[in-house]
Amino acid sequence: MRVLGILGSPHKDGGSAQLLLSALKAAEKEGAKTEIVSVYDGEIKPCIGCIHNEEPVCKFPCIFDDFGKSILEKINQADGLIFSTPIYWFAPSGPLKILIDRITCLENMISYGEPSYMEGKVVGAIAVGADAGGPWTCGYLITTFTSMGAIIPPWGIAYSYKGNKAIWDDKALMDVINIGLLVIKMIKLLKRGEKSQLTYIDNKNLLNEIRSEVLKELKHIKEFENYGRKTISRGNI
């Protein structure tokens, strides 16, 4: 069970590094093998949007052979990911945003008849600043990753506005420890179960079947609408 910590900060001992290390240490106590990479440790070329070309060529591995590629490979192999970023203008740092753009190549495997390579990974998000902005930053991150097929565990976000003193922010520290524990616990539960069941299905027959059932039911709802304020009436309730 591999958990990859992705640091979005230029400061390796700053608040976001402190909390990321803490989350990973908690994951290790539950048996995770962990690693940290920093988006500031090498060149990550900006995504050039191949996906919008007429013949899309956006697939894993990305066309760029740079430091970003090595991070994408580590992401691909991980069961869980914990992102930790400084809050730069209410959002992840620029280099982390570039990495996120590049992660598109893992998700876009769906255009090649495969599942998203991000599907079923468990993702947590941490943000640290000297001001507010944590919820927006973390909310942005988990919205992006659920849209790529990742799972967000309970209590999947944490933030501190204590900057370099984040390690002394007990509330935030307890929150990130829980992120570490819950990411790994969720991975374990899914391994015992069958993670493969959590794949996105693309099934036109099911789509048409459900659409016709809904259209039929909606007619019924209209008939009952005049009887005043009431919960939608359905057969199985």
- Decide: is 163 part of the binding site for a second copy (CB under 8 A): yes
- Which residue type is seen at 177? I
Would you say 80 or 134 has its CB closer to a second copy? 134
CB 198 within 8 A of CB 187: no
CB 95 within 8 A of CB 44: yes
Q: Determine the Cα–Cα distance for residues 94 and 237; give it in Å rounded to an integer.
A: 49
Smallest gap from residue 148 Cβ to a second copy (A): 8
- Decide: is 139 part of the binding site for a second copy (CB under 8 A): yes
Q: Determine the Cα–Cα distance for residues 36 and 18; give it in Å rounded to an integer.
A: 12
Would you say 29 or 65 has its CB closer to a second copy? 29
Would you say 57 or 221 has its CB closer to a second copy? 221
Judged by CB under 8 A, the chain residues 177 through 196 that form the site for a second copy are 177-178, 181-182, 185-186, 188-190, 192-195
Would you say 60 or 159 has its CB closer to a second copy? 159
* Secondary structure letter of residue 38 according to DSSP: E
- Decide: is 217 part of the binding site for a second copy (CB under 8 A): yes
Smallest gap from residue 113 Cβ to a second copy (A): 15
Judged by CB under 8 A, the chain residues 20 through 79 that form the site for a second copy are 21-22, 25-26, 28-29, 33-38, 40-42, 46-49, 52
| Three-class SS state of 87 | coil
Q: 201: buried, middle or exposed (CB in 10 Å: 19+, 13-18, 0-12)?
A: exposed
Cis peptide leading into residue 10 (ω within 30°): no
Place of tokens 């959002």: 91
Smallest gap from residue 36 Cβ to a second copy (A): 5
Smallest gap from residue 114 Cβ to a second copy (A): 15
- Decide: is 164 part of the binding site for a second copy (CB under 8 A): yes
